[in-house]
Amino acid sequence: MHQLRIKIEEELYWKQFVQEDDVFAATQINAKKEWLAAISESRYLETAHITENNVCPAPEPDKNKTVKLANFDDMHCAYKSTIDLIVLKNVIECGKTHVEFDAGRLSGSFNFEFDNKGNDQFVNGTLEATLIDKAFPQTKGRCRLAHQ
């Protein structure tokens, strides 16, 4: 490959001086075709792994190793739908749903994911319950509870 490259470069160098511009442009295209044909006919075979001290056989590829791709929806999701019903808010993004609710003393959120078959799966959630209504001051003994 190295010798072919030198040959093509030398021929192009001399032909640029003896050919007209249009003919030389065609010669350049033919040289590119010749180079691409040579590359397409060649193949790379790794026969040895050379280290500082010795020559070892090439390492075998690990066939048990798998590569997990990123979730497509995480990378390319452009769809987002929100439904807000004052006490309930539902956000849908491609294969994920987020539900938030606030019903006075009970509030929380839930997260769901959908698979390619349309089945939903609960991922995580929070739930908060308030026993004392913070809007009204409460007194008990010497303690006074008030919303600030």
Alpha-carbon distance 63 to 21, whole Å?
54
72: Cβ–Cβ under 8 A, 6 or more apart, which residues? none
Model pTM score? 0.41
The per-residue b/e assignment along 33-64, b for 16 or more CB within 10 angstroms, e otherwise, is eeeeeeeeeeeeeeeeeeeeeeeeeeeeeeee
Residue 18: both structure tokens together = 């003896």
57: Cβ–Cβ under 8 A, 6 or more apart, which residues? 48, 49
Residue 105 has a pLDDT of 83
Residue 80 has a pLDDT of 85
β-strand partners of 122: 112
CB neighbours (10 Å) of residue 125? 12
Sign of the Cα torsion 48, 53, 54, 58 reads negative
Does residue 147 carry a pLDDT above 90? no
Which tens digit of pLDDT belongs to each residue from 19-75?
999 999 999 999 999 989 888 887 766 665 566 666 666 667 777 777 777 777 777
Sign of the Cα torsion 133, 138, 143, 144 reads positive
More confident site: 18 or 50: 18
Residue 148 has a pLDDT of 45
What's the chain's average pLDDT?
Answer: 79
